Structure 1
Amino acid sequence: MAMTDRTHDKSTSDILSEGGRQSSVSTWLNILRAKLGFAVPQSVRDALEGALKTDASTSFTDTERKMLERLLRFGSSRVVELMVPRAEITALDENESIAELLETFEEAGVSRIPLFRETLDDPRGMIHIKDLFRWFMAEASGRPVRSGKIEGGEDAPVAGKIVLQNIDLNRPITTVKIRRQILYVPPSMPAVDLLIRMQSTRIHMALVVDEYGGTDGLVTIEDLVEQVVGNIEDEHDDDEEINIVSDPKLGVVAAGRTEIEELEKHLKLKLTPEDEESDVDTLGGLIFSMLGRVPARGELIHHPSGIEFEILDADPRRVKKVKIHPARALPQSTKASAEAPKA
C-alpha cells in the first residue's frame, strides 16, 4: 500500500478551505475599492492599467511607471515584433575556421553566434563565447573538453603549462565539439511564452521560423528582458552620458535612449501625439514605432513635424545615435503664395 506524505500533500477540504479564504479576502478588497470610489478591476492587468492612467504623482515614480508600462506592452507582444530580422542576423557557416569565428565574435560584440550550413534556412545550433574560451584553455593545456567543460572539473589543477601554439585556429568549427542547441519558434508566439521557455530550457537564443521552415529572425533572452527594463549596457558599450549634442558641422545629434520629453524641450517641438505619450519613451522608441522595425544605419526617416531623423549608428536591437535635420524652409515664392490671403 502506498504511503501518503501528509507533510506535503493537502486534502481536498484543506484546498477548498484555502480557496474560500482567498475568495473572501478578494471579496472584501473589492468592497473596499467600491467604498473608496474605485471600480472593481477584472484582473491584475486592469488594475495596473487603471493605476497608470491616474494623475497621482505619488502612485509610482517615473522609473516605476515606465517599467510597468513596458511590462504591460511586453505582455501583449509577439515574437515577430521583437526579433532581429533575418537580414541583420550575425551568423556563421559551420565549415568556417575557428579564426573566422573569433573575428566574428570580435566584430559583432555578442556572446552567442548561430551556425548554419550553406544558408540560414539550415541552422546548426550556436556557439557561446564561454565554451570557445574553455576549448582554448583545453587545447593550450593539453586536456580534452567534454560537454563544454574541461575534463576534470573547474577545480582540477592545470596539467602542464599553457602553450598557445597548441591551438590550431585553422580547424573547421565542425571539428570542435562545443556547439549548443538553439530554440525554434513561430513568429506568432507570445513573447512571455518564449521567455518562460528560455528560462526552463536554459537555451537563451531562438530562431524565428515561418510555416515553411525558413528563418525569419532571431531573438535572445537579452532582447526580451530589455523590453521590460530598458536597454542594458555593459562595460563594452559606448559611453553615451550626454544624450543631446549640438555639433557645428553635424547639427543636433541625439542618443537613441534620449527621453522624448528632453528632446522636445531641446527642439521646441511636439514629437508625439497626446494619445501616444504613454507608448513611447525614447527617441529610439519613437523611430521604432514610426517604422515598425529597427532602422538600418544611414536610413532617413521623415517625421510629421517636418524634421528628419538620420540614423548614424544602430545595431540589430536598437538605435544608438541619430542626427536630426531641421524642417526644410519653403522657397520664398512658395512661402509668399502660401501666406497670401485668399480672394
Structure 2
Amino acid sequence: MDGCSPIWIILAVAILFVLTVIVYLYSSAVQSINENELEEIKEKNEKTYQKVDKIINDPARFINTVQEVSVLITLITGICIGFRIDKVLLRIGMAVLWVIILLVFGIIIPKKLGSRHSKGISLKLTNITYMMTVVLMPVTFCVSKIADMILKISGIDPNEPEENVTEEDIISVINEGHVQGVLLASEAEMINNIVEFGDKEAKDIMTHRTAMVCVDGEMLLCDAAEYILGLNNSRFPVYIENIDNIIGIVNFRDIMSEAQREVNDMKKISDIPGLVRKASFVPETKKINVLFKTMQSEKIHMAIVVDEYGQTSGIVAMEDILEEIVGNILDEYDEEDVNIVRREDGAYVVKGSTPLEEIEEKLHIKFDEDCETINGYLVSKFERILENDERPEIVIDNVKYKVLSVKNRMISVVLITLSDDE
C-alpha cells in the first residue's frame, strides 16, 4: 500500500465524492418533486419520466445505492488517511476535517439545492443516477439479503409493511409549517380541524337538549307561525308531549307559506299533511365524518341525536359539522356568541355552557376533572345540584368561582377571579 500512488487515491476519492454529491442532489430532488413537475418531465422526455417514476415507486433500491456510495467514500477515505499519514493526532484531525467537508459539501448543500430545483435536476441527473443504481444492483441485492437474514434471525419480519403516518405526525408537520411562516394561522387551524374531523362524535358537536328550540306538534298553525317568527332558526324539531318524543322536523319557510294560505290556521301542525317532515335519528357515538356523508347523500340538514336509552340528547345540523372544519359560521341574523367576557377589574364572566378547553386556552387554568363544561366542573366540586336562587362560591387552586345565575338547576353564569399569582 505504501507504493500506491497518491494520485490514484486522490482520484478515487474525488470520483466517489462527486458521486455522493450527485446521489444526494438527485435524492432530494426526487423527494421534493410534485405531480405537476412530473407531468412537465413527461412532456419533455418520456424515457426520463419512466426512470424517475420507477425510482419514486421503488425508493428502497435507490436509497440503498445512496447509502452504499456514502459508505464507500467514507471507507476508502478512512483507509487512505490511515495509510498515508503517520501521526495519530494528524489522522484524527484529517478524518474530522473530511467528515465536515463531506457533510457540508457532499450532503447538506446538495440536498438543499435538490429540493429547490427538483425538476431541472431530475431531468439532468436521472440517467447517470439510474445507471449507478443498475451497476450497484448486485451489491445492493447481496447487502439486502444479508440484512434480511439477520433480521429474520432476530425474529423480525423484514417484509412487514412500515407503520403509516399518524395523525400526530401530520399535526406536528402542520404546526412546524405555521411556526416557519409557510402556513397562516387560519390555514393551519383548518388543516388541523380536517385531520381531527374523523375523531369527533355527534355528541361532541350537538346542540344539547336543554338548548334546543322545538315546536309542540299540538300547537295551532297560526300560533306556531307567530312563535317562530321571532326566532333565527330555519328548522325546528316537532314533538308531542315532550322532546323525547320527536315526530319530525318542520321548516320555517313551510310554516310561513302554509300560514299565508289561511286555510289551515286553526289546525294543529301535526295534523297538516306534508308540513312536518320525517326526522333522522343518529346515536351519540356516530362519527361526524360518517354522519356528514350520510346527511350529504340523503340531503338531510338536521338530525336528532339520541342516547343509548332512545332519549333525545340534542340535535346536529349540517352547519355544525361544517363549522368543525372552517370555524364559526355567522349569517346576517346571527349574533356572535361570546362565552367569556373580561371585566374592568380583571375578573371574567363566563357562561356555564363554556367548554373547559376554551377556558383553559383563554384563562390558562388547568382543570383536573373529566367534565366538558364549567357547569359540570362546578357541580362536581359542589357535589350537588344547585337551586335557582343559590349563589355559592368556591376557591380551587387559587382561582375563585362565584355562581351568578342558575337556571333550570344548571349554572348559567359564573364569575372567575384569578389570583395575583396566576
Residue 69 of structure 1 pairs with residue 192 of structure 2: yes
Distance 1:136 1:207 in 2: 26
Question: For the Cα contact (< 8 Å) 1:184–1:206, is it kept in 2?
Answer: yes
Aligned to 1:111: 234
Aligned to 1:216: 313
Residue 187 of structure 1 pairs with residue 290 of structure 2: no
Which SS does the other structure have where 1:326 is aligned? strand
Aligned to 2:399: 306
Instruction: Show the 5 A alignment for 1:25-174.
Output: 25=56, 42-43=164-165, 45=167, 47-54=169-176, 56-137=179-260, 139=261, 166=262, 169-174=265-270
Q: Which moved more, 1:54-63 or 1:70-79?
A: 54-63
Deviation at 1:206, TM superposition (A): 1.0
Q: Which runs of 5+ in 1 are unaligned?
A: 1-20, 140-165, 265-269, 274-284, 292-296, 315-320, 330-343
Root-mean-square deviation (Å)? 4.9
The structure with the larger Rg is 2
Q: Which runs of 5+ in 2 are unaligned?
A: 1-51, 68-106, 113-161, 379-387
Deviation at 1:252, TM superposition (A): 4.9
Distance 2:189 2:375 in 1: 17
Structure 1-normalised TM-score? 0.56
Distance 2:336 2:169 in 1: 38
Question: For the Cα contact (< 8 Å) 1:181–1:203, is it kept in 2?
Answer: no
Structure with greater helix share of residues: 2
Deviation at 1:308, TM superposition (A): 3.6
Which SS does the other structure have where 2:315 is aligned? strand
Distance 2:406 2:323 in 1: 19
Distance 2:399 2:207 in 1: 29
Question: For the Cα contact (< 8 Å) 2:360–2:366, is it kept in 1?
Answer: no
Instruction: Show the 5 A alignment for 1:196-215.
Output: 196-215=293-312
Deviation at 1:102, TM superposition (A): 2.5
Q: Which contiguous aligned blocks of 4+ residues in structure 1 show a shift greater than 4 angstroms?
A: 21-29, 34-37, 250-257, 259-264, 285-291, 297-305, 309-314, 321-324
Structure number with greater CO (CA < 8 Å, separation at least 6) is 1
Which SS does the other structure have where 1:110 is aligned? coil
1:201 maps to a residue whose letter is E
Q: 1:43 to 1:135 in 2, by over 3 A?
A: farther
Q: 1:52 to 1:23 in 2, by over 3 A?
A: farther
Aligned to 2:333: 236
Question: For the Cα contact (< 8 Å) 1:271–1:305, is it kept in 2?
Answer: no
Q: 1:51 to 1:202 in 2, by over 3 A?
A: same
Which SS does the other structure have where 2:277 is aligned? coil
Distance 2:193 2:243 in 1: 31
> Identical aligned pairs, as a percentage?
22
Which SS does the other structure have where 1:123 is aligned? strand
Q: Deviations over 1:55-89 (max 9, x none)?
A: 73223211112222222332201112222233332
Distance 2:173 2:375 in 1: 26
